[in-house]
Structures are given as C-alpha cells and as structure tokens.
C-alpha cells in the first residue's frame, strides 16, 4: 500500500480535482461527494432515541477505513461479500467499501431462514459475510458446513457474541481498527485506496441481487456500476432530486428498490439518507424525519390506511363525522388540485379547511408532511387506494420496474398520473409489446446476466438486448403502459372471459379487513377466492364489538367476520359488473384461510408476493371444495415457527356463495367491441 503520502482527508479532497470526469462507479460518486459536498449530511441514523449525522466527508472516511481493514483481512478484487441486516449506516458503508476494492456486494434478506441464506451464500461463492448481529451469526453457524468458501464473518453488534468461537468471527470495530492502524502507520494508505477506486470501471459488476424466486430457486442478477449509476442519475433527473432531498431507508437492502433509491440515488445526487432506529420504529422515525422522497410497495400503503381507519373508528362522533365529510371533499377535488386542474372556488376553500383539520394532520401522522414525490411499485396498487393518498395532497406516483432493469422501466411524469397505468418509458428506456402481448424493454439498466445460469439469461434477454418481463400489458393512446398481470397468470374462464387474478386481489385488498387474497378461475366456470384477514383491523373491530378470540384461526372462522368479508366482496362484484373486461370475473365463492400466508412457509416471497402455483398445490383440497359445491372443508398444513421449528396447523373453513350482478347493456356492448 505504498505510493501517495497524503492523509485521508487530503487524499479524498484532492482526488480527481479539476478532472471534470463523470464518475462511472459508486465509489467514484462517493469520492466526488466527499469533495463537493463534504460538510452536507450524507446519512442520519437514530440511535438510542437520538438522531446522529454523518457528513459526506465522514461517511467517505468510514468507507475508506472499512475498506483498508477488509484488505488487511485478505479481501481481494473480484471477491464476493454478503451483507445481511437492517438499514444501518455501517452496512451501507460495507457496500461502498467492498465495491471500492473491486469486490461484489451480495445483500441477503435479513429475515431469510438459515437454509435460504445457505443457498445464496454457496451459489454466490461468498468469502466474507458482513452481518448486523447475533441472530444472523447464528444462522450462518447453523449452515457453516454447507459453506466451505465462507472464510470470515464480520458482525456489527457485539451483544451476545462474546463467548463465541472467534476463529472466523470478527467485530466490525476490529476491522475498522485495522484500517485506522494502517492509515496511521502508512501515509500512503489513503492514496492506495483511491488508486483502487480509480481502477474500477463502469462495466465491472457492482452488486448481485437475488430475485424473489416466485417459481423456483432465486437467481443472482448481476448489475454493473453502469447499471446502478446511470439508472440512479436518470431517476434523480426525472424528479429533479437535489442534495436538499431526504429519504428514509427501511425496506430490505437485498431488494433492488432499496439498492437504487437508498444507495444509488443517494450517491448519484448527494441526497441525505435516514436510517430508522429499528423496523418497529419506522413510522415514528419517518414522522420525525419527514422525507421529501419516499418509496413503498402497496402493502405499506395498505397498512397505513388500515391504521388510519382503525383510529377513525375509535374516534369520537364529531371527529369521525368531520373526517368522513372532508374525505368526500378530497375525493371530489383533491387530485385535481394536486395536478393543478380547475376546481370551483367553493371546493378549493373547503379543501383548504380540510387540509388544516384533516389532510395535513393525516400526512403528518404517517410521516409524509414534507413529501415532494412518493412512489409505489412491486405489485399493482388498487385504484381506490392510490386515489385516496393523492386526494390527501400526497404526490404519490407509480413506476414499473424489475431487478433486471435496475428498477426503472416506466415512471409517471407530474401531471400525467393515472391510477390504471404505470407511466411512460423512463429516461433512455425503450419499450415494445410482443405479438403475444408481453412487455419487453431495453435500457442502460439492463442486467449483465444471471450468475452461473446462462440458460435463464438467454431465455430472458434477446441477442439484441431486449428483456422479456414476463408481464402482459399494452401502451395506451397517451403512450402510458398498462400492466394487466403476470403473463403466465392471465387466463380465461371457460366462457372465454378474461381472468386477471392480481387485478381482483388488489381490489379486495383495498379494504382494511383484508390483508391478502388469492383468486382462482383460469380454466374454470367461475372465479373463487382465498382471503387472509388483517389481524390488526379485524382485531380492533372485535375489541369494539366485544367479540372474543384467542388466535388468528379463531377470529378468521367467526361468522361475523365472514359477514364483513362477504359484504366487501359483494361491493367488488357490483363494481366489476360496470367494467367491460371484468364483468364476467365476479367472485362467486370464497373462504377465509385458517392461517396467514407466510414467506417462511413458502407461500409468499420475501418481497411479499404470493406464490400462486405453490398455494394452489398446497391448498388443493380447499380449492377443490370451492368448486364442488361444498359448504365447508378441512385440512392440515405444515408451518414454520420463528425459531425455525416445524409444526402442523389444522383447520376447518366455511365456504360461502356470493351474489353476482348482470352487466348493464352498454358495458356488454363495450366488452364485445
């Protein structure tokens, strides 16, 4: 590590000074930020109830020290390093430290069970694992025999690990200590680190993100620095983000959305990233930070709405009446005001009053009082849910993306935000629709390949660079993309009518009592549905109505709960009757599952998408009962407890029939056309 005899601060401050070059890797962006935005906040982290701030200079110094410590421990260019834990500054620093040495970061979902982790760690040939705490260390120890290439495990939190065998275990502070020592005894260490960064190229692999694997083992998506840097830069330019913008990091670091928004865009635009104290404090911490840029999948917005409605049900009569009245005002004119469209003077005045007494306090309650741009993606969001937030004055928009695209495929420009589209092609993105109706795209964010899976790569990428999304959709007359469903999930009823399960599921999930739904109908005479109730919402209702229960299973089976869900599904059927393409997809029978769908049981992905075919196979006796006229059915299912133990849960479910509604003549003519 010889060469440059500069202190750390001098090295970073003088690096590339006056070069005018555009950084093409994430570590080069970090060096630029340390030079140009040295004293501006880079990361905030709440620790023991107090917000701490790291400037770009301080964050750069942390990354440099970490990187030098890693090299002293034997980390080499081309090595892979797993990163496992919650959103924490030192774990984000781990990404930059690994990448600055020419390594490849491999984030893993922190709630993965040990066997899931073992597959990714072995497949990615991970030599180093940088983890948060004892929980993650224990998982790695449990599968250590399956990981012959894993040489070192570095942990951030030392609590509970003192008595462990430290042959391969190292405290993160120990690694930083090695880096600090090297910097103190070797004046050229800082310059050596910058030389390592300078060797990096945009075409180098930056990160390997494992897909959620809805149809099998997850695949390692190899993204280059060009993919990350260009996509992040384009995303910032599209919504005009600047160093004055703040976002909060709370979604899994193993998910591509967090990697682009929280890591890539923060580095590309010198934005400020806030890390909450822990997963359980996210709502309170978001309220304190009040981000200007926020992303959440529909599930998060569904949960927010559920909490709002539960609070309103518990509110006094006057407060609830005010809430209901001004929500009607917002529903009538809120979106128009947000989009700058004409609104009557009366409605504008009423909306201002509502903003003081209802909308403003609600935005503050969910931590979005300063929000300038909010996005949702990952799953289709119900149109009613989407309009609800926009009516409150929240500039919520939709985007369509994939891990293989470095997120961005389409975005909604301000003034062109529609509930039924996901926007126009993003900057530098091309879209086309195949003859079979599948959406294909080409962009600077397109992944390099799937790691050790050329067959899957060739199935997904065409020789001329187009990527098959697996989603069915079309471009409307305004150039906006409409996604119908996963191409493999879109089907037909036996009468030839279109069947889109996700569309139906999102409609019912708008209601606070419903947490998850799975629709069936392809190749059948009619549509049926599994329902998971929302324990928070329905539990609150039970408490208010003196309904006692001892478990989810008991509450889900309660006749009055069935009545509530049946009423909601009836409302859906009435509205479906008015829709040309969906009138024939009214739900005719349903049941409430005796257990919650769970990722640990293989029923959901780690990003909370239902594994539709797995559920249909696992609960085949219940699906059969939905179609054979049975009034009830029972079965047993294996479950995985939080500590990894297996067990069996048995339950009996009722099956109820629903009323369907004839479509008006005009709707039938439109459907025929």
User: What is the arithmetic mean of pLDDT over 599-609?
Assistant: 83
HEC string of 114-173 equals HHHHHHHHHHCCCCEEEECCHHHHHHHHHCHHHCCCCCEEEECCCCCCCCCCCCCEEEHH
Instruction: Find the CATH number of the domain harbouring 112.
Output: 3.40.50.12780
In a domain, residue 56? The reply is yes
Nearest to 398 by CA among 413, 416, 412, 383: 412
Indicate whether 180 and 325 sit together in one domain: no
- Structural domain includes residue 434: no
347 and 281, same domain (yes or no)? no
Count of structural domains, the chain = 3
At residue 379, the pLDDT reads: 73
What pLDDT is recorded for position 669?
45
What is the distance between the alpha carbons of residues 129 and 600, in angstroms, rounded to a whole number? 22
Report which of residues 310 and 179 the model is more confident about. 179
CB environment 297-325: b (16+ within 10 A), e (fewer): bbbbbbbbbbbbbbeeeeeeeeeeebbee
Do 529 and 602 fall within a single domain?
yes
Sequence-ordered list of residues with C-beta below 8 angstroms from that of 461, at least 6 positions apart, any chain: 446, 449, 467, 468
396/410 Cα distance (integer angstroms): 15
Distance, in Å, from the CA atom of 603 to the CA atom of 614, rounded to the nearest integer, reads 7
Query: Is residue 223 domain-shared with residue 318, that is, in the same domain?
Result: no
- Over pLDDT 90: what percentage of the chain? 74
- Of 100, 64, 91, which Cα lies nearest the Cα of 196? 100
CATH number at residue 540: 3.30.300.30
Burial of 421 (0-12, 13-18, 19+ CB in 10 A): buried
Number of other residues whose CB lies within 10 A of the CB of residue 551: 12
Do 182 and 270 lie in one domain? The reply is: yes
Coil, strand, or helix at residue 673?
coil
Which residues 6+ apart lie within 8 Å of 313 measured at CB?
320, 540, 541, 544
- The average pLDDT across 218-223 equals 96
In a domain, 438, yes or no: no
**Beta strands of 356-478 (E only): which ranges?**
373-376, 396-402, 407-411, 424-425, 430-433, 438-442, 449-450, 467-475
**Alpha helix locations (H) across 530-651?**
535-544, 552-556, 559-576, 612-618, 620-627
Residues 143 and 245 grouped into a single domain: yes
Q: What are the b/e assignments for 568-596, b being 16+ CB within 10 Å?
A: bbeebbeebbeebebbbbbbbbbbbbbbb
The DSSP string of 59-89 is HHHHHHHHHHHHHHTT--TT-EEEEESSS-H
The DSSP code for 202 is T
Same structural domain, 220 and 343: no
Instruction: State residue 509's pLDDT score.
Output: 87
**H or E element at residue 179:** helix 172-185
Query: Can you tell me the mean pLDDT for 420-430?
Result: 94
Q: Note the pLDDT of residue 217.
A: 83
Nearest-angstrom CA–CA distance, 522 and 487: 13
Of the residues 294, 316, 341, the one at which a domain ends: 294
Q: Are 519 and 527 in contact (CB under 8 A)?
A: yes
Catalogue the long-range contacts made by 553-559 (C-beta closer than 8 Å, 24 or more residues apart): 553/594, 553/595, 553/649, 553/651, 556/532, 556/592, 556/593, 556/594, 557/592, 557/594, 557/651, 557/652, 557/653, 557/654, 559/654
pLDDT of 643 higher than 70: no
Is it the case that residue 109 has pLDDT exceeding 90?
yes
Query: Residue 532 sits in which domain range?
Result: 491-672
Find out whether 600 and 647 touch, Cβ atoms under 8 Å: no
pLDDT tens-place string over residues 387-407 = 999 999 999 999 999 999 999
Using DSSP, state whether 661 is helix, strand or coil. Answer: coil
Whether 106 and 241 share a structural domain: yes
Q: Are the C-beta atoms of 1 and 192 separated by less than 8 Å?
A: yes
Residue 604 has what DSSP assignment? B
Of 7-21, 27-41, 43-57, the least confident: 7-21
Q: Which residues pair with 129 in a beta bridge?
A: 82, 153
- Per residue in 433-459, pLDDT (tens digit) is 988 778 999 999 999 999 999 999 999
pLDDT digits (tens, 9 = 90+) for 329-339: 999 999 999 99
Secondary-structure breakdown of the chain: helix, strand, coil percentages, each rounded to the nearest 5: 40, 20, 35
Q: In which band, very low, low, confident or very high, does the pLDDT at 74 lie, cut at 50, 70 and 90?
A: very high
- CA–CA gap between residue 170 and residue 190 (Å, rounded): 23
Confidence label for 4 from pLDDT (cuts 50, 70 and 90) = very low
pLDDT tens column, 267-293: 999 999 999 999 999 999 999 999 999
pLDDT at 6 over 80: no
Distance CA 103, CA 269 (A): 23
> If you average pLDDT over each of 90-104, 598-612, 630-644, which comes out highest?
90-104
Check whether residue 239 and residue 336 sit in a common domain: no
Tokens 């040495």 sit at which residue? 101
- The residue-averaged pLDDT of 576-598 equals 90
The reply to whether 201 and 345 lie within a common domain is no
At residue 298, the pLDDT reads 87
Residue 635 pLDDT greater than 70, yes or no: yes
Neighbours of 290 (CB within 10 A): 17
3-state secondary structure of 105: strand
Beta partners for 115?
none
Handedness of CA 387, 391, 392, 395 (dihedral sign): positive
Predicted confidence band of residue 673 (pLDDT cuts 50, 70, 90): very low
Q: Which residues of 230-244 are buried (b: 16+ CB within 10 A; e: fewer)?
A: bbbbbbbebbebebe
The answer to whether position 230 is within a domain reads yes
Question: For 144-167, what is the mean pLDDT?
Answer: 95
Asked if residues 634 and 622 have their Cβ atoms less than 8 Å apart, the reply is no
Whole-number pLDDT of residue 484: 77
Q: CA 350 to CA 330: how far, in whole Å? A: 9
Tell me, yes or no, whether 475 lies in a domain.
no
pLDDT above 60 for 7: no
Q: What is the DSSP letter of 405?
A: G
Burial class (CB in 10 A: 0-12, 13-18, 19+), 670: middle
Nearby residues of 479 by Cβ (< 8 Å), 6 or more positions away:
424, 425
> CA angle at residue 517 from 516 to 521, to 5 degrees?
165
Q: Does 119 fall in a domain?
A: yes
Domain boundary among 244, 270, 294: 294
Least confident range of 354-358, 501-505, 583-587: 501-505
When pLDDT is cut at 50, 70 and 90, the band that residue 128 belongs to is very high
Give me the pLDDT at residue 672, please: 42
- Whether residues 103 and 221 share a domain: the answer is yes
The answer to whether position 413 is within a domain reads no
pLDDT at residue 487 tops 80: no
Looking at the fold, whether 279 and 312 belong to one and the same domain comes out as no
- Partners of residue 401 on adjacent β-strands: 408
User: Is position 402 within any domain?
Assistant: no
Extract the tokens encoding 490: 């879109």
**Is residue 160 very low, low, confident or very high in pLDDT (cuts 50, 70, 90)?**
very high
Per-residue pLDDT band at 666 (split at 50, 70, 90)? low
**Last residue within a domain, chosen from 278, 294, 310:** 294
- Chain segment 516-540, per-residue pLDDT in tens: 999 999 999 999 999 999 998 899 9
218 touches 174 (CB < 8 A): no
Is the pLDDT higher at 466 or at 380?
A: 466
Mean pLDDT of the chain: 91
Place of tokens 């039938």: 668
Higher pLDDT, 142 or 381: 142
């Amino acid at each position: 590590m010889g060469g440059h005899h500069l202190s750390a601060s001098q090295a970073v401050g003088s690096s590339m000074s006056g070069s005018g070059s555009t950084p093409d890797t994430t570590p080069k962006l970090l060096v630029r930020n340390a030079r140009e935005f040295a004293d501006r906040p880079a990361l905030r982290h709440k620790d023991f109830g107090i917000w701490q701030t790291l400037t770009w200079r301080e964050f750069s110094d942390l990354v440099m020290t970490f990187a030098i410590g890693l090299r002293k421990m034997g980390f080499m260019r081309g090595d892979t390093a797993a990163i496992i834990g919650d959103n924490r500054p030192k774990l984000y620093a781990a990404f930059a430290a690994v990448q600055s040495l020419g390594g490849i970061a491999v984030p893993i979902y922190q709630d993965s069970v040990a066997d899931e982790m073992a597959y990714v760690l072995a497949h990615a040939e991970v030599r180093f694992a940088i983890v948060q705490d004892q929980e993650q260390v224990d998982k790695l120890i449990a599968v250590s025999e399956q990981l012959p290439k894993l040489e070192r495990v570095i942990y951030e939190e030392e609590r509970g690990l003192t008595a462990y065998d430290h042959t391969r275990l190292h405290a993160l502070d120990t690694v930083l200590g090695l880096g600090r020592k090297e910097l103190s005894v070797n004046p050229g260490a800082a310059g050596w680190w910058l030389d390592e960064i300078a060797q990096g190229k945009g075409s180098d692999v930056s990160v390997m993100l494992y897909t959620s694997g809805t149809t099998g083992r997850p695949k390692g998506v190899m993204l280059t620095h060009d993919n990350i840097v260009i996509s992040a830069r384009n995303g910032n330019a599209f919504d005009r983000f600047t160093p004055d913008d703040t976002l909060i990091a709370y979604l899994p670091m193993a998910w591509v959305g967090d990697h682009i928004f929280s890591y890539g865009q923060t580095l590309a635009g010198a934005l400020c990233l806030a890390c909450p104290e822990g997963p359980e404090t996210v709502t309170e911490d978001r309220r304190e930070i009040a981000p200007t840029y926020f992303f959440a999948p529909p599930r998060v917005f569904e949960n927010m709405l559920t909490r709002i409605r539960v609070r309103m049900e518990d509110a006094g009569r006057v407060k609830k009446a005010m809430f209901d009245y001004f929500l009607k005002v917002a529903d009538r004119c809120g979106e128009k005001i947000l989009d700058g469209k004409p609104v009557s003077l009366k409605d504008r005045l009423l909306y201002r009053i509502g903003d003081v007494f209802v909308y403003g306090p609600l935005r503050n309650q969910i931590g979005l009082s300063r929000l300038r741009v909010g996005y949702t993606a990952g799953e289709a969001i119900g149109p009613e849910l989407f309009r609800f937030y926009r009516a409150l004055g929240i500039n919520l928009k939709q985007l369509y993306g994939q891990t293989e695209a470095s997120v961005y495929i389409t975005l909604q420009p301000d003034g062109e935000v529609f509930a039924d589209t996901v926007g126009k092609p993003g900057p530098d993105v091309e879209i086309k629709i195949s003859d079979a109706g599948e959406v294909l795209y080409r962009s600077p964010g397109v992944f390099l390949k799937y790691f050790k899976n050329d067959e899957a790569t060739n199935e997904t990428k065409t020789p001329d660079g187009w990527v098959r999304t697996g989603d069915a959709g079309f471009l409307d007359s305004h150039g906006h993309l409409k996604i119908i469903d996963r191409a493999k999930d879109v089907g037909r009823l036996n009468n030839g009518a279109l069947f889109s399960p996700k569309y139906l599921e999102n409609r019912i999930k708008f209601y606070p009592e419903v947490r998850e739904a799975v629709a069936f109908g392809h190749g059948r005479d009619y549509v049926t549905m599994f329902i998971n109730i929302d324990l928070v919402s329905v539990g609150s209702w039970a408490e208010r109505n003196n309904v006692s229960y001892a478990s989810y299973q008991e509450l889900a089976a309660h006749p009055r709960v069935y009545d509530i869900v049946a009423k909601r599904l009836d409302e859906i059927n009435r509205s479906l009757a008015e829709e040309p393409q969906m009138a024939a997809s009214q739900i005719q029978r349903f049941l409430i599952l005796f257990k919650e769908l769970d990722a640990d049981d293989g029923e959901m992905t780690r990003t909370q998408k239902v594994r539709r075919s797995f559920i249909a196979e696992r609960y085949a006796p219940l699906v059969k009962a939905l179609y054979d006229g049975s009034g009830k059915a029972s079965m047993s299912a294996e479950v995985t407890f939080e500590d990894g133990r297996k067990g069996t849960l048995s339950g009996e479910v009722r099956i109820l029939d629903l009323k369907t509604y004839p479509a008006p003549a005009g709707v039938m003519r439109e459907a025929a056309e």
